[in-house]
């Protein structure tokens, strides 16, 4: 089996690619990326170099990648190439609107890049699954109707930013291509992802709260400055996301067109500070005015896309479950320590 991953040298997609190589004996991986893998990606894939092929090309220019990709007997496709134009969570960064810097390019990559890959997928003779990587950014800021329940896949869709708009449009296009041409398509909506290989790249300059708290604690910061301890998120470790996607890729059939991939519950900033302190005694948080905060979050955003996501659909269909967040967060801190001991830093901070 051969998996093509677009955007496969980035954050989530690189972890997915490695998990595929680890989970499927003798499987191969083809990475389509817009720039050569950086040193972090090269080191990450080093144990599996003999089963990895890299094609450097712009996903929106299919004439540049169709021929080299077609040389491989692709059986599975995960389309994850995307631009993620998000501010990074401090008062100064919140004033910046990254979507305004190049909106046409965001839509070109996130929307027409999807169309280009789907058009090519129509020509793949032995395609077993096409998985589109969407995002919880497609959801409303509030919901569901009964407070306290996790957010289901059906309904509550109202993206307000170009990123979420392009993701929802691509989901619908993927589903329609599946109906029109008999392609085995599905989409996944990860919640807030953190973990190994989360680093600054040309297409993504954003780190979720768990990443920042873990690094600050391990860097020796005694007090992380926050505007609140009560803000929440459904944070999921990237390796759990990768495990879910590989299971969906290998399932003989899928009942639904879209699946939430999430922890299924929320954690607060205070929870994560406490978990970090279990690894680094003495670490804590200081509540400061918003303009002084290292981490700026709105505690009123606690449902809809910001709250817990319903994962009953994927759990019941393929039996996947994420680790409890405390265990996953500690595993991430252990990974950071191991990487620092092993040699050059794998993550840009």
pLDDT at 203: 57
Query: pTM of the predicted model, to two decimals?
Result: 0.93
For residue 77, the enclosing domain spans 2-202+235-264+304-325
Tally of domains within the chain: 1
Identify the burial level of 311 via C-beta atoms within 10 angstroms of its C-beta, where 0-12 means exposed, 13-18 middle and 19 or more buried: buried
Q: Does residue 183 lie within any of the structural domains?
A: yes
Q: Does residue 288 lie within any of the structural domains?
A: no
pLDDT at 87: 56
SS3 33: strand
Q: What is the largest CA-CA distance in the chain?
A: 58
Q: Does residue 335 lie within any of the structural domains?
A: no
Distance CA 257, CA 106 (A): 24
Q: How far is CA 174 from CA 22, 30, 139, in A?
A: 28, 21, 18
pLDDT in tens, 116-163: 999 999 999 999 999 999 999 999 999 998 888 999 999 999 999 999
Q: How far is CA 144 from CA 65, 125, 139, 211, 233, in A?
A: 42, 41, 10, 28, 15
Q: Does residue 168 lie within any of the structural domains?
A: yes
Q: Does residue 136 lie within any of the structural domains?
A: yes
Q: Does residue 316 lie within any of the structural domains?
A: yes
CATH code at 317? 3.40.50.720
Q: Does residue 154 lie within any of the structural domains?
A: yes
Q: Does residue 313 lie within any of the structural domains?
A: yes
pLDDT < 70: residue spans in the chain: 86-96, 201-206, 343-349
């Amino acid at each position: 089996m051969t998996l093509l991953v677009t955007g496969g040298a980035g954050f989530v997609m690189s972890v997915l690619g490695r998990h595929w190589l680890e989970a499927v004996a003798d499987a191969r991986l083809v990475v389509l990326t817009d720039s050569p893998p950086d040193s972090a990606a090269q080191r990450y894939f080093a144990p599996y170099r003999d089963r990895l092929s890299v094609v450097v090309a712009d996903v929106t220019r299919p004439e540049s990648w169709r021929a080299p990709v077609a040389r491989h007997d692709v059986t599975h496709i995960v389309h994850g190439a995307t631009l993620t134009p998000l501010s990074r969570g401090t008062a100064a960064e919140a004033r910046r609107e990254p979507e305004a810097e190049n909106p046409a390019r965001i839509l070109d990559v996130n929307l027409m890049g999807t169309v280009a890959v789907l058009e090519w997928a129509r020509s793949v003779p032995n395609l077993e699954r096409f998985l589109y990587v969407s995002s919880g950014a497609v959801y409303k800021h509030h919901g569901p109707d009964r407070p306290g329940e996790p957010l289901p896949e059906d309904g509550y869709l109202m993206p307000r930013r170009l990123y979420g708009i392009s993701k929802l449009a691509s989901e619908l296009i993927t589903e329609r291509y599946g109906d029109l041409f008999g392609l085995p398509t599905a989409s996944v909506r990860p919640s807030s992802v953190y973990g190994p290989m989360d680093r600054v790249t040309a297409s993504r300059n954003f780190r979720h709260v768990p990443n920042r708290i873990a690094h600050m604690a391990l860097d020796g910061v005694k007090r992380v400055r926050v505007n609140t301890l009560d803000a929440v998120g459904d944070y999921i470790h990237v390796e759990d996301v990768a495990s879910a996607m590989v299971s969906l890729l290998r399932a003989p059939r899928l009942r639904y067109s879209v699946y939430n991939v999430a922890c299924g519950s929320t954690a607060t900033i205070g929870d994560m500070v406490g978990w970090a302190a279990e690894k680094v005694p003495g670490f804590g948080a200081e509540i400061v005015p918003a303009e002084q905060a290292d981490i700026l979050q709105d505690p009123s955003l606690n449902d809809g896309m910001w709250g817990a996501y319903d994962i009953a659909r994927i759990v019941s269909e393929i039996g996947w479950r994420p680790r409890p967040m405390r265990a996953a967060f500690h595993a991430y801190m252990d990974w950071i320590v191991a990487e620092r001991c092993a040699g050059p830093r794998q993550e840009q901070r």
